[in-house]
Structure 1
Amino acid sequence: MSKTPSPCIDVCKYKRGGHCIGCSMTRDQKSLFKSLKKDKHRRAFVDMLIKQQAALGKFHAWPEIYARKCKKKRAPLPGGL
């Protein structure tokens, strides 16, 4: 089983109050995710991000794109998807 992939979906445009229009992460959050080594921390980060997206709204395409990314990398889907 592969480790949890980055929630980034390669859009990287920060137009929603400093949040990426593709994944909702801020630049600091993207740096933080890259520093996470343990998979349980990476999964917890993605779970937090799913809640952040729900609170911010307008991230309807992300779950499908991220699910494809997980499938391609043979990684389990986060519980919130």
Structure 2
Amino acid sequence: MAGLWRKAPSPCIGICKRPGGICVGCGMTKADKKTFKRRRSKGERKALFRILIERLDGMGRLARWEHVYRRRCDRKDRPCPLDKL
């Protein structure tokens, strides 16, 4: 199961607008984006996804992000980690 998290595509969905320092597309900060690839363990990545889901939900953007991210996982032919949270 750890392989699922290591192969998970970045949560970034290509919108990249950061009013207030948090991206409206994916909920990540610049620091989150810089460190995503270095977060290799299942626990680290799972924790980041949970934080992003909470942020996006608070911004009212969770449903859109989840839809686009699932499509991205499908296009890359990778299992979606959102199914394992």
TM-score when scaled to structure 2? 0.73
**1:39 offset after TM fit, Å?**
4.7
Mapped pair 1:63 → 2:66: yes
Bigger share in strand: 1
Aligned length: 80
Taking the aligned partners of 2:17 and 2:32, their CA distance within structure 1 comes to 14
Classify the secondary structure of the residue corresponding to 2:37.
Answer: helix
Q: Which runs of 5+ in 1 are unaligned?
A: none
Say if 1:5 and 1:39 are closer, same or farther in 2 by CA, change over 3 A: farther
| Partner residue in 1 for 2:13 | 9
Taking the aligned partners of 1:52 and 1:80, their CA distance within structure 2 comes to 19
**1:51 offset after TM fit, Å?**
1.8
Q: Which runs of 5+ in 2 are unaligned?
A: none
- Of 45, 55, 58 in structure 1, the residue corresponding to residue 48 of structure 2 is 45
Bigger share in helix: 2
Taking the aligned partners of 1:80 and 1:48, their CA distance within structure 2 comes to 15
Q: Identity over the aligned pairs, expressed in percent?
A: 38
Alignment check: 8 A CA contact 2:53 2:62 kept = no
Between 68-77 and 43-52, the greater mean CA deviation after superposition? 43-52
TM-score when scaled to structure 1? 0.76
Taking the aligned partners of 1:80 and 1:57, their CA distance within structure 2 comes to 22
